[in-house]
Chains A and B, each alone.
Chain A
């Protein structure tokens, strides 16, 4: 391919530089995936340390202060650095392929999102070298105020989340435009794969949910560093404002975490049940309804703040109503399985487990919707059990299902089914061993976030049980990592469509070429590849026409380093912030003037 003067040389498609300057959505997806999985391992190690400390009464492995840092950073790492970006890895790699496009709408912006995410992740994680955040992941004032936490930890929290939010906002804007504007001919909205629908929905959620969090973080930053009193009641402020701003973001955030997994499951189940998804429009509209209702429930996290009867009733009712669209989805997945000729592959096992464990977490969620019951559950291990059933049993199980399912498409190789099933059973048993007893512990009165407990409280048995379970999960992850490296040494043998799937990404080679499709596909029905197969429609021959792909660019990583400098400056010296601003303005000019043809 010809190189235009002023752009980077094209032929270098190997080596570190080609990855640093890449704007290819598939490579960016891989970067997201590897980075996020590394953070998942790190978050897992934090969890194992927490579980080791809690295994026996009066544990002495970790002191109280470090324990506070660990549970805070475990949540932040898993939510913002592992699960959200693992979702991003899938939608980066898959969305353009699934909609028959050659890339996203803004390839360089996509690279920028990744590099800013990496910068934010490193800033947040590096806090362990100074003071890690220790006020819990929702970081309530006044605990997170200057009076009670005067170390740098909370500032790391603020800067890290602002940086990560910038990354998510850019990615969300990019994918909104991509899905609305760049679909292949014939691919109407009601023919979109459910995974793409879910990507569109979470993009909208991110675009609208991040700003309230941004404002809350800015106010906290000002309260801590510039003498304001937004959250100080004596001076006319109000700490409850932080809770509102945080949860207006925080509740949509849980859908941002779970909807990609729901999308993955909705793609995997039909393929291995060899049946189209049951009730496609209902699944799509249920997703939209969940996202819509998700805006009117945030105060169910605040029932104990004394909101008054009317708001409590309204938020409780709205929260219970969300169970309806969620239930619709679950019944549609079961309906997809019903009467299908099911292949129990590893991907399928993870998807089926998703339905089971997510339903358990969903049901305990409906319990919390009732204010009197919530008052009992608040800040107990019951809530910890709930969140892990939906986030681990839901999101992580769905993500592993997606990894086994799309691995041949992403790498051209298969993961071993034998090791895969071992991984699945260990993980499924381990996660239930770890998190189910937490329901009992919560009802027995064990508060969350305590760093140890006394002998006589009778919490020892189930805590030890949960700790053993967490080590079983750890072993299952080791099995997965072995499986991954073993597979990567195998030759690339995957055909275009090894599972006989229906969506467009399976119409191209495994792994796909840089330009995704030799000929942009035409879509004639909801499950395009099955329609073409059943109607004897052959794939069109390549015409050999010149396919223009955007050239690589180093401006995304340059600009991301400017964004990181802005944040580091806030934490250290404001001169660095000024330097960051200069780097950003320079990069924007270079970016705007860089030829893309």
Chain B
């Protein structure tokens, strides 16, 4: 283990496929997550346009839609940028560039928190405008789906913050720093991609 070089799995983790067990675990976990979000998004699509009473997501019978597309486009941009900083963090970790890794991790975390801030603002605004879980089927499907996505972003923020904290230890993230950050990156990019699907389905495609 001691002879392993930065960014490479140590020798005793040699596997049949050549992929590290932990990375394979993350891939299969994300496969499972695809079905999880797939079921939530499918539920949203099945019930799209089925609300009996307002507020409705898009303009409906002269009533203005509740979704604020410019604001959410901004938060989507913020989340997309966090994927860029995540890539930089992985690059820094794999090439031993400590400062770059730490700054990029910090940027990713802050962008993630900003996204969650936008989501909190959006949820609160909807509440003030009279849309809650129980108001109509749009409220139920929207809040549960985006709420679980937000929870995933929150878990990602804790995951990356743990890595950032650990990187300040004397031993840093250890000889496998590149590997750890890369695996976290897989999760983070996945959560971003899910958001792009949700954003398209909810905000861009009118009823």
Contacts and interface: CB of A to CB of B under 8 A. Distances in A.
Categorize the interface residue count of chain A. Answer: 35 or more
Interface in B1-58: 1, 12, 15-17, 19, 21, 24-25, 28-29, 31-33, 35-36, 38-40, 43, 46-47, 50-52
B197 interface: no
Q: Is the interface of B mostly helix, strand, loop or mixed?
A: helix
Given A174-B25, A181-B16, A218-B148, 9 more contacts: A105-B21, A106-B25, A177-B21, A181-B19, A215-B40, A216-B39, A229-B134, A236-B136, A237-B47
Contacts of A226: 133-134
B158 interface: yes
Interface residues of B, number: 38
Contacts of A218: 144, 148
Interface hub of B12, B33, B52 (most chain A Cβ within 10 A): B52
Interface in A185-243: 207-212, 214-216, 218-219, 222, 226-230, 234-238, 241
B140 interface: yes
Contact of B136 (A211, A216, A235): A235
A106 B21 contact: yes
Instruction: List 9 tightest A-B contacts by C-beta distance, closest first.
Output: A227-B134, A236-B137, A228-B140, A211-B35, A211-B36, A215-B39, A181-B15, A236-B50, A105-B21
B159 to A, nearest CB: 9
A597 interface: yes
A332 interface: no
Contacts of B148: 218
A548 B137 CA distance: 56
Contact of A211 (B28, B32, B46, B158): B32
A241 B133 contact: no
A585 interface: yes
A230 B136 CA distance: 9
B133 A227 contact: yes
Interface of B: 1, 12, 15-17, 19, 21, 24-25, 28-29, 31-33, 35-36, 38-40, 43, 46-47, 50-52, 132-134, 136-137, 139-141, 144, 148, 158, 162, 166
A190 B119 CA distance: 50
B43 A241 contact: yes
15 contacts: A105-B21, A173-B28, A173-B29, A176-B24, A182-B15, A207-B31, A209-B35, A211-B33, A214-B39, A215-B39, A222-B144, A228-B144, A245-B39, A548-B12, A593-B166
A2 interface: no
